[in-house]
Structure 1
Amino acid sequence: MLPRIPLDDRTFENIVQESRRGIPRRLPEWTDENAHDPGITFVELFAWLSEMQQYYLSRVPERNVRKFLELLGIFPREAAQAEADVTFGNVREPVTLPAGTKLQAEDQVFETTEAVKLLPLEIERIVTRTEKETSDRSASNERGNVAFYAFGREAEADSRLYIAFDREVEAGESLSLYVKLADGEETKAGGIIPSARVSWKAYGWDEENGNSWLPLELVEDGTLHLTSSGRIAFRVVSPMRPVIVHPAADRPRYWICCILEEAGYELPPRIDQVLLNTARLRQRDTKSEQMTFDGTGLADQELEADSLLARCGKLRVQVRQSDGRWREWREVPDFALADAGSEVYVVERESGSGGASRVRFGDGVRGAIPGEGAGNVRRIHCSEDFAELRWIGRSNGLPHQKLRLYDLPVKRRDGLRLQVGVPEGKDGRLVWEDWEPVSDFDRSGPLDRHYRFDPATGELTFGNDERGAIPALAAEPNLCVTVCEFGGGERGNIKPGLLNRWVMEEQDVLLLTADNLDYGFGGAEAETLEECVERARTQWQVPYCAVTDEDYVRIAMDTPGLKVSRVHVIPNYAPGRERPADGAVTVVVVPKGLSETPVPSAGFLATVAKHLDDRRLITTEVHVVAPDYVKVTVHAVVVVEPHFMEEGHRIVAALNRLLAPLDKPGGIQGWPFGRTVHKGDIYGAISQVKGVAYVQDLWLDAEGTAVRKSAGGDLELPETAIVYSGAHRVELISSAQL
């Protein structure tokens, strides 16, 4: 008997009872709910049909469920590789760590995602300067446990952040800093438009300006002008000069400076740490990689690569033929014995065995020249311990071939790429075909070189010559892995201080130290089918297209990279036009900020507008605007019990809670947009305060755009406005005096 997989846990009785409970609400005129009533008979009939439908749907096989999800554009997520920021120390001379440099935390291997340039520098002092004060933040930065404002709480223009180094950075040298902010993770969204603008300068010398603050050449700004954590890289253009910056006045130092040129932060940046020689590492162990180059068709073409495997691994070089297959060329020590047709190359290294490697081809007389073409030359590197494992078997030429890769614990489909060798010519020399991974063979034709790899089981499957081609028969192993990456899962979210051991002994001679100051993040196990179905159900409820007011609110609140506090939608309204404006929608957004009345910057509004523009109906005109704040001041004469004469502050606190523009902890909701401030609301708030007998007199004052006072003393607000409290004036009178 097939096991039951319940898609819905409701039984026949549950459905009947649920339907009967809804009768009084939907059809109050239906009063006879006894079994003899025909309506009850129909309820039971449809309950039985529903239960039978659930019964059959619960027997949908897993393959069909996956197909249904695919029709919705949803696929189970693969294992995610964790990331961690590592700071290197004991740098005695400039060192470049190639991409793929490996560190180990217990049994988890992490790699650098790009080349890392380390300089023998240390940050000695950090100073922040605003118009009001100058502060030394060196101790906070060194410990990393007390965040500080880069430009003060107000973050006004011309505020400065100074960073001093213990030695000069030579002119022409590149320098990178990792800035870790206290207010959130690194921004991944590319659509953020920052309003604040910073510039970076160093104190140095040039012929035109002499000794002065001179611009640095900005190479990369992953912080988006200090709006998120990230890496900043720049190049020193002019020779640096030591200078004294107060309050670090004990001796001259080499300083760089970040200047806030234009204000515009909703939340002023708070820095946890500014770090030197810090890189982002990913939890993976690359055993084989391939790099593709364009053939120039010229003599003595060179292919230069600098990665860990390019330095220390085994090398294969392939050139693509006119039929799309790849022919492997042979390495020789030099071209002395090569003729014009010899498919050979020479490997040269920059600085011994530890430098970048360069592949050089012949000149057409001594060694052949690869043809001209886009991406028709390839370098394949693999580690020494993977040299034998890359040969996973040979094809028997039969359909539905399956291999179980026990020795390759690959957790992601894109972590494995294959080539299949095809015997060619009289000597049976193998030429290589690239095969592509697919999730299934449903869309594969008989000539498509596709394979299916399941990371959960490690099973590799080929087609049957109708759905996917069959690998060519060979007498020797002809199935070769060209790309192989291990790694992924929750265990990569390591604790601080674990990522400190080099994997390869060749890197120990550098005597560098390494340490991850924070936890690893982002690692996750592969999603099960049940988890994917649950995610699909949840996603189905999340609006993508903005149609209703609720859709606009939800989408604007979820703008990537922004912290939005409140959103209000006004349909059929456009700023500056008389209502109604058919087809227009105005969205009022309130950012999160330190003040009671945060105002969105131009970049904030533009970012929300861009996010909504991608999701609006094509005929809808969307406007994103800032709120209009109206300051409301309450003047009240309140009669209280005699022993509450000193409790006027409680009345003021109640008014502040009522007239709050933003939601606050404890279930306090902000004042609704555009709602009239009635005197009755104020009477009610004051009357609820303990000790209040009654309100003897009350009047309201308001300051703001387009606010109007009615004849009864109420404050009428425009739809884009919300209120905030002014300095309320409350006069208390003891009831014993009346």
Structure 2
Amino acid sequence: MLPRIPLDDRTFESILQEARRGIPQRLPEWTDENTHDPGVTFLELFSWLSEMQQFYLSRVPERNMRKFLDLLGVVPREASSAEAEVSFGNVREPVMLPQGTKLQAEDQLFETLDPVKLLPLAIDRIVTRTLLEASDRSASNTGGNVAFYAFGREAAADSRLYIAFDREPVIGETVAMHIRLADDSNGAEYSGNKRNEVVPSARVAWKIYGWEEEHGAAWLPLDLIEDDTMHLTYSGRITFRIAAPVRPVIVHPAGDRPRYWISCTLEESGYELPPRIDRLLLNTVRARQQDTKSEQVLFDGDGQPGLTIVHDSFLARYGMLRVQVREAGGLWREWRELPDLGMAEEGSYAYVVERRSGVNGPVTVRFGDGARGTIPPRGVGNVRRIHHANDFLEQSLIGRSNGLPHQKFQLYDLPCKWRSGLLLQVGIQEGSSGTLLWEDWQPVENFDRSGPLDRHYVYNPETAQLMFGNDENGAIPTSYDEPNLRVMVCVLGGGERGNIKPHLLNQWVQPELDELGLTSDNAGYGFGGAEGESLEDCLERAQQEWQSPYCAVTNEDYIRIAKSTPGLKVSRVHVIPNYAPGRGKSASGAVTVVVVPYGLNDTPVPSKGFLATVAKHLEDRRLITTEIHVIAPEYIQVTVHAVVVVEPHFMEEGHRIVAELNRLLTPQDKPGGIQGWPFGRTVHKGDIYSAISRMKGIAYVQDLWLDAEGKSIRKSAGGDILLPESGIVYSGEHRIELISRTQL
């Protein structure tokens, strides 16, 4: 029996109740909705038929389910690899680690995503300075696990962060420093080019104490190459170049000796959440949990003698190399490596490889000049270097094609979890010489959109099975007597086990790197690793995505979309239709959105950058005729003055009344089910009476009046506080006078 897949979560009872709720709207003359009514019997009948139809539709096979999802543009997610920040230490001399350098955390392999130059440089001292105080934060950065505010808790303008190095940086050197912020839930996921969509809330300026001919020793602008932190808004990396000689200077309170300092000055304040630094790290790069068995790099041929192509990666240094050149027909010919081009004959397909001694330096491939070796033709991306692990050559040949439709191959030794992580080549015999020329084939989800000439294949990561077409949907590989199906690119890895704990990424895979005496460590957890999505989870996700609004139409749509602005933490949202600042409620077609960010106090104010980021996010999702404005809330301070008659034992409990009023008159939603005061809602004296009177020990409220501070507020004749549309209240210093009942 096929398992039941629920396409709809509605039951017979829910379908029936939904139909009955529609009776007053569609048939107001139908007043008898009891069970004995024939109309109710028909509703029950059709509800039963709907449930039966839903039951039978839910018993479609898995293949049909995938086709239905494909029509909606939804496919199950593949496994994803975890990433972690790895820092290197004990650097005695500059060392260049290439991209793809392999590290191990227990049984999990990680590879660096970028090349990194390790410098014999360390952070010696860290000082924060505000207008009121200066503090030495060095201990917090050396394993103390205590985060500190970069510019103090208030993050006022002109606050500074000082960072000292243990030695003088070399002129012309490029230094990369990784900044890990505490409580940065968006820093890991929201990175790369996506951060360009966020307008920073504050602006910082980096400087270095150095020497220049005109001014001598002074604080000079730092030659900043990259600021991935977006002015210390997210965790990330800053990269700068040492453009002038660095001079030592004393910075209080680290006054024991002069040091080599850089500084970060908060030039324009506005952080909703002041940056709190967890760690400052040098010689740090991001690593991904994967094991690249084979990789390809494409180069352009210039058609000139002595073509040289240079590349540096972990597999280029320590793996094996094959070189292919694309010919006029689109097929790739594999050239032969020789020790010396002097051994090459005219017309031979040959090249030489030049490697630097030691562990540093890229690997160079050099071609002939026509007389000694053939010149690669001119073209775009027509020269290919394939680097692979030493033990991969035998694994790369997965079998031979027999020329029949629907060929299947099981890749037991290469359990790749990504379709894009496995690229294939098919060998075709050149005439009667027996030489194989190679053609590239491309992975696809299925063969539904593949024609008879499309060189496509389908790889299923769940079963590690590879399948070809039938010459109608997808071409059939050319048959050959020997193995002619070869994996050109293969990347293994992925899954939840890559989300490692801190301080596990500390083993080198290559012995040559281990001999350098370098140390490696991950200060934080691995993040982002996940298993492949099952069909059931994919269906559930598709249902949730269809229920989530993309286009802003109703007030609820605006609220949900504004709260989901990428890269921001939005606490509350209020929508005012047909309203525009300066024009009031007569602005037809305008929508004003009031946003409240998360903050350290009860009255956080969004910066201009925060408002601009929300506005841009809504602008891409509004109706074409809608005019959108995003503004900050107008905070109104409300102070309660009351004379309360209480029981004798309650005379010392006035603070409980103040606490209750603070919970009532709060602008933020808080834990424990506490709801913030609604936007624009009048503060009635009756609300205050009710809040005080329902407390235990309260006899009655004898007298009460309200005061308010803020713009655009008015008081009614009865003493109520009338708020503007964008107004939201917060508590002032409430004054409560208690009188015992026995004194009356």
Same fold (TM over 0.5): yes
Q: 1:102 Cα deviation (Å)?
A: 0.6
- Whether the 8 Å contact between 2:198 and 2:567 is mirrored in structure 1 is yes
Partner secondary structure for residue 586 of structure 1:
strand
- The residue identity in structure 2 corresponding to 1:274 is L
> Which residue of the partner structure matches residue 576 of structure 1?
582
Equivalenced residue count is 735
- Whether the 8 Å contact between 1:23 and 1:30 is mirrored in structure 2 is no
Q: 1:679 to 1:386 in 2, by over 3 A?
A: same
CA distance in 2, matches of 1:732, 1:542: 51
CA distance in 2, matches of 1:353, 1:337: 28
> Which residue of the partner structure matches residue 624 of structure 2?
618
Q: 1:51 Cα deviation (Å)?
A: 3.6
Residue 107 in structure 1 maps to residue 113 in structure 2 = no
Q: 1:246 to 1:538 in 2, by over 3 A?
A: same
Match of 2:474 among 468, 474, 478: 468
Q: 1:286 Cα deviation (Å)?
A: 0.2
Q: CA RMSD in A?
A: 2.1
Q: 1:698 Cα deviation (Å)?
A: 2.3
CA distance in 1, matches of 2:179, 2:484: 49
Partner secondary structure for residue 80 of structure 2:
coil
> Which residue of the partner structure matches residue 538 of structure 2?
532
> Which residue of the partner structure matches residue 64 of structure 1?
64
- Whether the 8 Å contact between 1:570 and 1:719 is mirrored in structure 2 is yes
Q: 1:424 Cα deviation (Å)?
A: 2.0
Partner secondary structure for residue 510 of structure 1:
coil
CA distance in 1, matches of 2:203, 2:184: 19
Q: 1:176 Cα deviation (Å)?
A: 1.2
Q: 1:221 Cα deviation (Å)?
A: 1.6
> Which residue of the partner structure matches residue 232 of structure 1?
238
After TM superposition, the structure 1 = structure 2 runs for residues 556-575 of structure 1, keeping only pairs within 5 Å, are 556-575=562-581
- Whether the 8 Å contact between 1:401 and 1:463 is mirrored in structure 2 is yes
Q: 1:405 Cα deviation (Å)?
A: 0.7
Q: 1:285 Cα deviation (Å)?
A: 0.3
- The residue identity in structure 2 corresponding to 1:192 is V
> Which residue of the partner structure matches residue 378 of structure 2?
372
CA distances 1:13-50 after superposition (whole Å, capped 9, x unpaired):
x579857986999888225423xx43244234324422
> Which residue of the partner structure matches residue 607 of structure 2?
601
State which drifts further: 290-299 or 373-382: 290-299
Q: 1:353 to 1:9 in 2, by over 3 A?
A: closer
CA distances 1:241-273 after superposition (whole Å, capped 9, x unpaired):
111111111111111111112111110000111
- The residue identity in structure 2 corresponding to 1:684 is S
> Which residue of the partner structure matches residue 126 of structure 1?
126
- Whether the 8 Å contact between 1:220 and 1:233 is mirrored in structure 2 is yes
Q: 1:428 Cα deviation (Å)?
A: 3.6
Partner secondary structure for residue 50 of structure 1:
helix
- Whether the 8 Å contact between 2:112 and 2:285 is mirrored in structure 1 is yes
> Which residue of the partner structure matches residue 693 of structure 1?
699
Q: 1:33 to 1:23 in 2, by over 3 A?
A: farther
CA distance in 2, matches of 1:375, 1:237: 36
Q: 1:317 Cα deviation (Å)?
A: 1.4
Residue 486 in structure 1 maps to residue 485 in structure 2 = no
Residue 302 in structure 1 maps to residue 308 in structure 2 = yes
CA distances 1:602-627 after superposition (whole Å, capped 9, x unpaired):
11001111111111112211111111
- Whether the 8 Å contact between 1:19 and 1:43 is mirrored in structure 2 is no
Match of 1:668 among 654, 664, 674: 674
CA distance in 1, matches of 2:14, 2:664: 44
Residue 250 in structure 1 maps to residue 250 in structure 2 = no
Partner secondary structure for residue 388 of structure 1:
helix
- Whether the 8 Å contact between 1:182 and 1:270 is mirrored in structure 2 is yes
After TM superposition, the structure 1 = structure 2 runs for residues 28-107 of structure 1, keeping only pairs within 5 Å, are 29-34=31-36, 37-107=37-107
Partner secondary structure for residue 282 of structure 1:
strand
- The residue identity in structure 1 corresponding to 2:153 is R
CA distances 1:699-733 after superposition (whole Å, capped 9, x unpaired):
22222121111222222111011111222222333
Match of 1:438 among 429, 436, 444: 444
Q: 1:286 to 1:31 in 2, by over 3 A?
A: closer
CA distance in 2, matches of 1:612, 1:160: 35
Q: 1:697 Cα deviation (Å)?
A: 2.5
> Which residue of the partner structure matches residue 712 of structure 1?
718
Partner secondary structure for residue 389 of structure 1:
helix
CA distances 1:28-83 after superposition (whole Å, capped 9, x unpaired):
8225423xx43244234324422431332122111110011111111111111011
CA distance in 2, matches of 1:471, 1:382: 24
Partner secondary structure for residue 335 of structure 2:
strand
Match of 1:448 among 448, 451, 454: 454
- Whether the 8 Å contact between 1:144 and 1:273 is mirrored in structure 2 is no
- Whether the 8 Å contact between 2:95 and 2:360 is mirrored in structure 1 is no
- Whether the 8 Å contact between 2:611 and 2:632 is mirrored in structure 1 is yes
Q: 1:512 Cα deviation (Å)?
A: 1.1
- Whether the 8 Å contact between 1:312 and 1:354 is mirrored in structure 2 is no
- Whether the 8 Å contact between 1:16 and 1:43 is mirrored in structure 2 is no
> Which residue of the partner structure matches residue 116 of structure 1?
116
Partner secondary structure for residue 654 of structure 1:
helix
After TM superposition, the structure 1 = structure 2 runs for residues 356-367 of structure 1, keeping only pairs within 5 Å, are 356-367=362-373
Q: 1:213 Cα deviation (Å)?
A: 1.5
- The residue identity in structure 1 corresponding to 2:383 is V
- Whether the 8 Å contact between 1:312 and 1:353 is mirrored in structure 2 is no
Q: 1:544 to 1:3 in 2, by over 3 A?
A: closer
- Whether the 8 Å contact between 2:33 and 2:40 is mirrored in structure 1 is no
CA distances 1:626-652 after superposition (whole Å, capped 9, x unpaired):
111111222223333344333322222
Partner secondary structure for residue 29 of structure 1:
coil
CA distance in 1, matches of 2:307, 2:634: 65
Unaligned ranges ≥5, structure 1: none
- Whether the 8 Å contact between 2:346 and 2:374 is mirrored in structure 1 is yes
Partner secondary structure for residue 475 of structure 1:
coil
State which drifts further: 716-725 or 688-697: 688-697
Unaligned ranges ≥5, structure 2: none
> Which residue of the partner structure matches residue 734 of structure 2?
728
Percent sequence identity is 70
- The residue identity in structure 2 corresponding to 1:576 is G
Residue 497 in structure 1 maps to residue 499 in structure 2 = no
Q: 1:16 to 1:642 in 2, by over 3 A?
A: closer
Q: What TM-score does the superposition give when structure 1 sets the normalisation length?
A: 0.95
CA distance in 2, matches of 1:353, 1:360: 20
- The residue identity in structure 1 corresponding to 2:151 is F
Partner secondary structure for residue 420 of structure 2:
helix
State which drifts further: 635-644 or 131-140: 635-644
Q: 1:316 to 1:622 in 2, by over 3 A?
A: same
Q: 1:365 Cα deviation (Å)?
A: 3.9
Partner secondary structure for residue 42 of structure 2:
helix
CA distance in 2, matches of 1:559, 1:430: 54
CA distance in 1, matches of 2:46, 2:403: 55
Match of 1:275 among 259, 277, 281: 281
CA distance in 2, matches of 1:17, 1:203: 76
- Whether the 8 Å contact between 2:100 and 2:314 is mirrored in structure 1 is yes
Q: 1:22 to 1:511 in 2, by over 3 A?
A: same
Match of 1:403 among 398, 409, 421: 409
State which drifts further: 15-24 or 312-321: 15-24
> Which residue of the partner structure matches residue 285 of structure 1?
291
- The residue identity in structure 1 corresponding to 2:537 is E
Q: 1:556 Cα deviation (Å)?
A: 0.6
- Whether the 8 Å contact between 1:501 and 1:514 is mirrored in structure 2 is yes
Q: 1:570 to 1:456 in 2, by over 3 A?
A: same
> Which residue of the partner structure matches residue 138 of structure 1?
138
Q: 1:134 Cα deviation (Å)?
A: 0.3
Partner secondary structure for residue 339 of structure 2:
coil
CA distance in 1, matches of 2:703, 2:434: 104
Q: 1:476 to 1:588 in 2, by over 3 A?
A: same
CA distance in 2, matches of 1:385, 1:570: 65
Q: 1:557 to 1:175 in 2, by over 3 A?
A: same
State which drifts further: 561-570 or 324-333: 324-333
Q: What TM-score does the superposition give when structure 2 sets the normalisation length?
A: 0.95
Partner secondary structure for residue 403 of structure 1:
strand
CA distance in 1, matches of 2:413, 2:232: 45
